[in-house]
Structure 1
Amino acid sequence: MDLTVVAYVIYLLISVALTIWVAHTLSRNGKAFLADVLHGNEKLADAVNHLLVVGFYLVNLGFVTLYLTNDDGVTDARGLFEALSVKLGVVLLVLGGLHLANFYVLNRIRRRGMTEREQTPPAPPQGWAGPGKGPWAPPATGA
């Protein structure tokens, strides 16, 4: 068997395994974060989580397959390791970049939601209490 084909097989096995592991880890640990971003709506958080995982698989596996080719060919064991290290290193960088991009966008949405929650009063105002009225006003003096 040609060493280039061996490199392709090893690259695909490792890349697909890494993609599945990262997607599973992000999905499992991202549920709580998404629930917070979406104000406790668990059903919507699960749906968004699933859509993010599907998108992650599509983008990353698409990149892995597009990046499969090797124009130089692999002639020896050293070339095999060098080709694999470059390809897997780039895949890992893309995985990390996708994770950071997702986290950045979700964190922006979360911050916007927190800002909106801070600006909303806990109860609607009941009316204006003018000076000298209410429990915080100084006690009235008899005249």
Structure 2
Amino acid sequence: MYTVYAHLAYLSLSVAATAWVARTLSRNGRVFLADTFGHNEALADAVNNLLVVGFYLINVGYVALALKYGPRPNDMAESIEAMSTKVGLVLLVLGAMHFFNLYVFARMRRKALLRNQKPPVMPEQFVTPVGALAAE
């Protein structure tokens, strides 16, 4: 019976954590995406929604697969240990995905900023280096 309760607690905590992280990233990442895509709000919202769907698919899929693995608990202490291990792994996966997304979008933003940067202008005058004057 401990196994059923441990599985239910694991599923509840993992899906709740996934939903909370997805909502937080979606809400706060929208501004970042809008800036990355040149303030094209429609494109930023579309990419944000696609990221949330992918985020849910990967994390809920991982949660479902990880449910099967690990020892079967025989008492309450083993149930808590098994559940904490599985929830901890889910949180690590969520954190890794978050940092990977930040890395990818930081690179995209850097490229967008470079693409929108004005070309350099020619200088109006030149300064002669001090060493060059002494050589003459």
TM-score, length-normalised on structure 2?
Answer: 0.85
Following TM superposition, by how much is the alpha carbon of 1:121 offset from its aligned partner in structure 2, in angstroms?
Answer: 3.8
For 1:60, what is the secondary structure of its paired residue? helix
**Structure ID, larger Rg:** 1
Structure 1 residue 3 corresponds to structure 2 residue 2: yes
Counterpart mapping for 1:20-99 below 5 A = 20-99=19-98
Q: Give 1:136's aligned residue.
A: none
Q: Could you give the per-residue CA deviations for residues 95-124 of structure 1, whole angstroms, max 9, x where no partner exists?
A: 000111111101100001111122x349xx
Q: Which protein has the bigger helix share?
A: 2
**Rounded Cα–Cα distance in structure 1 between residues aligned with 2:71 and 2:46:** 44
User: In the alignment, is the contact (CA less than 8 A) between 2:70 and 2:82 conserved in 1?
Assistant: no
User: In the alignment, is the contact (CA less than 8 A) between 2:22 and 2:52 conserved in 1?
Assistant: yes
Percent identical pairs in the alignment equals: 52
Following TM superposition, by how much is the alpha carbon of 1:71 offset from its aligned partner in structure 2, in angstroms?
Answer: 4.4
Q: Could you give the per-residue CA deviations for residues 68-98 of structure 1, whole angstroms, max 9, x where no partner exists?
A: 0144211111101100110000000000001
- For structure 1, the residue ranges without an aligned partner over 5 or more in a row are 132-143
Q: Give the 4+ runs in structure 1 shifted more than 4 A.
A: none
Q: Root-mean-square deviation (CA), in Å?
A: 2.0
**Rounded Cα–Cα distance in structure 2 between residues aligned with 1:52 and 1:10:** 27
Change (3 A) 1:44 1:72: same
User: In the alignment, is the contact (CA less than 8 A) between 2:14 and 2:90 conserved in 1?
Assistant: yes
